[in-house]
Amino acid sequence: METLIEEGNNVTVLRAKKYHTFTQAAWIEKHVTRAIESPNVNKRYSHLNRVIIGSEQICDDIRKHLEHHGITKLRKNGVLMIEFVLSVSPSFFKRADGTYWPNANERLKAWVRSSRGWLLQEFGTNCLTAILHQDEQTAHLHAICVPVSKSFNKKGEVVHRLNARGILGGRDKLSRLQDSYASALAPLGIKRGQRGSRATHTTLKQFYSAVNESKRICAKAALPAPEAAPSSFNSWQAIVNRLSDSLDSIHDSEINKLKGIIQELVATNEKLRNATTSRRRNT
């Protein structure tokens, strides 16, 4: 395959998280199918989301997969499923000014095709589901894998069991997966991210939690609500500062609380920007 893009510094992103219960699996199912609302989702684009592997019936598919392999009992605290989130730098799809590259759709198809192929090659039938999300700031894939492994008992009979350690047992194995995924995307001009870097996913969760809180206060204080985008808060803070001076004193406590939240958001925004810049310099 020819390299799709020459310019920019596009890197892979591969995160993994383990889940232990069907209750957690049900929540993941609702999230990836948009059965529950997420603050960072733009519903106008949710119709572009689509299933790449399997179906949206994640819990049912997990039960069928376990039944097919004769797994009837789950160990306490055992790992039922692993969620992988696969993505690539936003610059792979967009220019620095936020406009899409002329061949952005071709890039998306190529990235999805390569990511799907990697998932099936790496996990085979254990990869039950992969769903593409295009209704957030960066296109990404949620992949659900059930870590079924095969072994033999003392009688020489085949035995299947859940073995998450075989996939994520230690830092080296996750690093190997990240290497492998980057190799699959290399023909597209996409590189591996910085080794040993700490992801900012937790920071983003805190960021969107603060967004929700600021929206609640805005509604109570009759202020315009912020957009759920890190780049919007610096300019939005100046608007709030101007409006707060003209509001009735009854709102003073809420305004002061809101200002504190905005300051935290701006600081978080700066941390995210610095982390991104540092990651790009070191890749």
Containing H/E element for 34?
A: none
160, 69 Cβ separation under 8 angstroms = yes
Highest-pLDDT range among 33-37, 96-100, 124-128: 124-128
Helix (H) or strand (E) holding 52: strand 50-53
pTM, 2 dp = 0.68
| Predicted local distance difference test score (pLDDT) of residue 169 | 79
Name the nearest CA neighbour of 56 among 2, 130, 153, 118.
Answer: 130
Q: Which of 33-47, 140-154, 180-194, 212-226 has the lowest mean pLDDT?
A: 212-226
Reported as a pLDDT band with limits 50, 70 and 90, residue 248 is: very low
Q: What is the pLDDT of residue 41?
A: 85
Residue 249, pLDDT above cutoff 50 = no
| Cβ-Cβ contacts under 8 Å for 257 (sequence gap 6 or more) | 217
Report the DSSP beta bridge partners of residue 94: 100
Q: Is residue 130 scored above 80 in pLDDT?
A: yes
The dihedral through the CA atoms of 259, 261, 262, 267 has a sign that is: positive
Tokens read off for 32:
């990836």
| End-to-end C-alpha distance for the chain, whole angstroms | 23
